[in-house]
Copies of this chain bind each other. A is one copy, B any other.
Amino acid sequence: MFEPTIKDIARICGVGVSTVSRAINNHPDINLETKEKIMNTIKEYGYVPNNSARNLKRVDAKAIAVLVKGISNPFFTSMIKVIEEECKKKHYSMELSHIESDEDEVDVALKVVKEKRLRGIIFLGGLFSHSDEKLQKLTVPFVFSTAGSVPENISRSQYSNIGVDDRRESAKLIDYLVQQGHKEIAILVAEAEGESIGKLRLDGYKDALRANHITIRNELICNTREDISHFSLENGYLTTKKLIESKEPFTALFAVSDTLAIGAMRALLDEGMKVPQDVSVVGYDGIEMANYVNPRLTTVKQPVEEIAKATIKLLFDIISGKKDHQHMTFEASLVEGESTRALNKLETTR
């Protein structure tokens, strides 16, 4: 199979390569007739420009990349959709790239930027423990999304981040449970070690218990399994089963993601415990599914659309030099489903 290059097209049309280039890239100074002729032969011979060669020459492409860690996370999926739309509006192309769990997101970013001459990067998910040194090498604007509060040991002027304050929001959620009379509140937490959202949400849980003068008991802090997908339904299921088997009494269960919570509800059901009659369950994220399961899941809903839009706006502002790195925090909203109930006095004080 013959793979024509720009030279071949030029030769066939009896023009120079630059004319063909001009035709392809919609340059203004080109005769309409010649342009048409060129475009026709391009179609006829099935010429496809080589992007690698283009990128090599190009100084700057009207494009950004979104680097996602954990593509199966439904929360990200909806973020991506919005970002994609916003890019289209601005006539930017968006490169979606998937980072494997053992890869370093900044390293990947460095590569992609070199390869594609991008103007900006959005990081979705993953940790945020990156050395200043590495971050400095990343010369294009970038924004970390979905993490509103970040450990203090990272110098904040190096990067932008946008999201909800995971710690505070999860504390609010626990407050809500406490107000409903719950005291024995178990937590399902993933990636509690390291600087991840799991850790932040666990911190919020502890904050709230302390503030309410409830003892933090390690028996009620259930770490999900490390050997299977961290935020999966299955992990929520298995971890909850283990909790139940421990015979540790609890009246409420906070799962640090909706997927974990849905898995937990199934486990409770299978063990003959009713939600919310026997146990109240709350999740975190506010994914669409939370509103479809039975009973509807009470959860903290992150304003996906807002976050996504703010993220892309900030990125473009940094690109155009209008703004410096920023740290924006959005308010999440408590969505009351049907998976929680208030304990009555008798139950509360048992």
Contacts and interface: CB of A to CB of B under 8 A. Distances in A.
Interface of A: 1, 3, 46, 48-53, 55-56, 71-72, 74, 77-78, 80-81, 84, 96-98, 100, 110-111, 114-116, 136-137, 139, 232-234, 237, 262-263, 265-266, 269, 288-289, 291-295
A77 B98 CA distance: 12
A111 B53 CA distance: 12
B233 A292 contact: yes
Contacts of A294: 265-266, 269, 293-295
A114 B50 contact: yes
14 contacts: A51-B111, A51-B115, A52-B55, A52-B115, A52-B116, A53-B56, A71-B71, A71-B77, A96-B97, A237-B292, A265-B292, A289-B289, A293-B293, A293-B294
Given A265-B294, A269-B294, A48 B110 contact: yes
A114 B48 contact: yes
A288 B233 contact: yes
A275 to B, nearest CB: 9
Contacts of A136: 1
A80 B71 contact: yes
Nearest to A138: B1
A184 to B, nearest CB: 24
A343 to B, nearest CB: 23
